[in-house]
Amino acid sequence: MDWALPRLVTVAKASAWQYSSAADSEPGRNDSVNTNAACPADEMIPTPSTSHVDYNRVYEPAEDSYLLLDTLSASSESNWLRARFPPTSATPSAVEVGCGSGVVLAFIAANAERLLGRPDVTTFGIDVNEFACKATADTVSLAIKEAGPTNQSVFGGSINGDLMTSLRPGSVDILVCNPPYVPTEELPNESNLDEFADRADFGSDEAFDRDSRYLALAYAGGMDGMEVTNRLLDQLPEALSQHGAAYILLCAQNRPDAVKDRIRSWAHGWSAETVGSSGKKAGWEKLSIIRVWRS
Amino acid sequence: MKLLTLNFLTCARKTCKSTAAAFPLHPKEAELEQVEMELNPLFVKNMLPRLDWEAMKTLATELGLPNLPAETPVAEELANESGEPTQTLRDLHTLLMETAIASGKLVCGNCGHEYAVKEGIANFLLPSHMV
Ligand SMILES: C[S@@+](CC[C@H](N)C(=O)[O-])C[C@H]1O[C@@H](n2cnc3c(N)ncnc32)[C@H](O)[C@@H]1O
Ligand SMILES: [Zn+2]
């Protein structure tokens, strides 16, 4: 598949420049770290286990996933979230759109106390890929179990759906999304999503076709890599609660500065800042994470 | 899918989203599943303020579960003088955290569309002509 190539290049480059800086302990995670590098006092929180996930049909955690983990666990971000959701407030909801293996949602659920300064968070995963939904349910449940009894997070469930269309307005406090962001000629599946609805009768070659399409759905972002992300952004004002904040991953080709400017021009006072990035060297694969919230 | 989750879901069709009738979705032919979980008093207490109590009462009735109190319980009803969890708290815990829909349908009260739930996962994908 032609998307494998840029991805491999990214990994190779990232580890090449990483070797010259202080070596980190976690294989894979350090490929993307530099939010932590900015806050050397932060210790690395382990990555949730996803060894049960079938990567033939569900996105395998990669440097983009790890950048989300590192950004959310940086002390600067954790301080911001603690102030936004003080322990006296109602249990915050954390929703991940495009949850894939569930690695990011599991990280939030299992480390609520560290990230949010409170042990309770209620989590939901949404993905257009039904196998990702199942994978996420397993990954998050396992991570909560392993976090032990002081953790008071609850996994509400996975929802097989398109972005936030199934969510009640105002119900999301913390939104996390690592969307399909790679620029592609077209969005192969968007118009075909209904072919996937309500089907349980695939033959084996059909199943292979379906699996490849699921993997394509994980990366193909259409024009500027922004077609899915733009639809997600459009849904934010309705879906986010008054205190809500969204963490969205962008690549350089998505033109993060233009995206942020656009959000800042929305009615009723919205803010957008870059709160994490990786791949300091100029290159199309450079990733960043923006935080979007009502100011 | 835990019953708690229904507090966060609505019909995925644009035309339904902001109508009152689209929330809560109504379980149909639901097969419930009991998943034991450690009692989590803090979670229940902090979750209460964000529950739509009327919706939760409707759900309990429609699923044939014991009726919920008429009003959202206040903090004093959740723990006794010695700080121990009350029966009310235990019941809420059972309902919200331990009761899950394993399979069945969720029906929109506005348009009548039925969303299937299989293996605990609700499918909200719509055929393109319905979006
Ligand atoms: C880049 S992967 C991220 C997976 C995981 N969150 C991670 O960070 O490892 C993008 C995910 O978004 C999902 N996705 C793509 N389009 C979607 C849509 N319209 N609604 C919901 N999920 C979608 C894909 O199935 C895939 O699981
Ligand atoms: Zn409807």
Which helix H or strand E contains A173, and what residues bound it?
strand A172-177
- The larger pLDDT score, comparing residue B89 to residue A189, is at B89
Q: Which residues of A touch B7 (CB under 8 A)?
A: 168, 171
Q: Is A167 in the pocket of ligand 1 (CB under 6 A)?
A: no
Ligand 1 touching residue A140 (CB < 6 A)? no
Q: How far does the CA of residue A254 sit from the closest CA of chain B (Å)?
A: 26
Q: Which chain A residues are within 8 Å of B122, Cβ to Cβ?
A: 157, 159-161, 166
State residue A195's pLDDT score. Answer: 57
Q: Are A252 and A283 in contact (CB under 8 A)?
A: yes
Residue located via tokens 């118009």: A191
Question: At which residue do the structure tokens 């109602």 appear?
Answer: A90
| Complex ipTM value | 0.96
Q: Is A10 in the pocket of ligand 1 (CB under 6 A)?
A: no
3-state helix, strand, coil in chain B (%, to 5): 40, 25, 40
A120: which chain B residues are within 8 Å (Cβ-Cβ)? Answer: 40, 42-43, 46-47
Average pLDDT over residues B66-95: 90
Contacts A–B by Cβ distance under 8 A? 118
| DSSP single-letter state for residue A220 | B
Pocket test for ligand 1, best of A105, A129, A226 (most atoms within 8 A of CB): A129
**Span B36-57, pLDDT tens digits:** 988 988 899 999 999 999 999 9
Alpha-carbon torsion, ordered A258, A262, A263, A266, to 10 deg: 170
A135 close to ligand 1 (CB < 6 Angstrom): no
Q: How far is the alpha carbon of A187 from chain B, nearest alpha carbon, in Å?
A: 15
Averaged pLDDT of chain B: 93
- Give the pLDDT score at A283: 52
Q: Phi and psi for B13 in degrees, rounded to 5?
A: -75, 135
- Identify the bridge partners of residue A164 per DSSP, sorted by sequence position: none
Mark yes or no for CB contact A152/B40 under 8 Å.
Answer: yes
Q: Which range in A161-170, B64-73, B122-131 is most confidently predicted, on average pLDDT?
A: A161-170
The residue with greater pLDDT, B119 or A17, is: B119
2.20.25.10, 3.40.50.920, 3.30.300.130, 2.30.40.10: which CATH number matches B3-130? 2.20.25.10
- Edge to edge, the sheet with strand B99-107 lists A270-278, A287-294, A240-251, A172-177, A93-97, A122-127, A154-160, B121-123, B114-118, B99-107, B26-34
State the burial class of residue A82 (Cβ atoms within 10 Å of its Cβ: 0-12, 13-18, 19+). middle
CA distance A221 to A57: 18
**What is the pLDDT, as a whole number, of residue A196?**
54
Domain boundaries, chain B: 3-130
Q: Which residues of chain A have pLDDT under 50?
A: 1-27, 31-41, 190-191, 197, 284-285
In chain A, what is the straight-line distance between the N-terminal and C-terminal CA atoms, in Å? 42
Distance CA B91, CA B108 (A): 27
Which pLDDT band holds residue B18 (cuts at 50, 70, 90)?
confident
CA B2/CA B100 separation, integer angstroms: 4
**Confidence grade of residue B102 (pLDDT, cut at 50, 70, 90):** very high
Alpha helices in chain A (DSSP H): 4-20, 35-38, 63-73, 75-84, 103-110, 112-116, 130-147, 193-196, 204-219, 227-239, 256-264
Continuous segment of H or E residues that includes residue B44: helix B41-47
Specify the pLDDT at position A27.
45
- Residue closest by Cα to atom 11 of ligand 1: A98
Superfamily of domain A4-294: Vaccinia Virus protein VP39 (3.40.50.150)
Please report which ligand is nearest the Cα atom of A133: 1
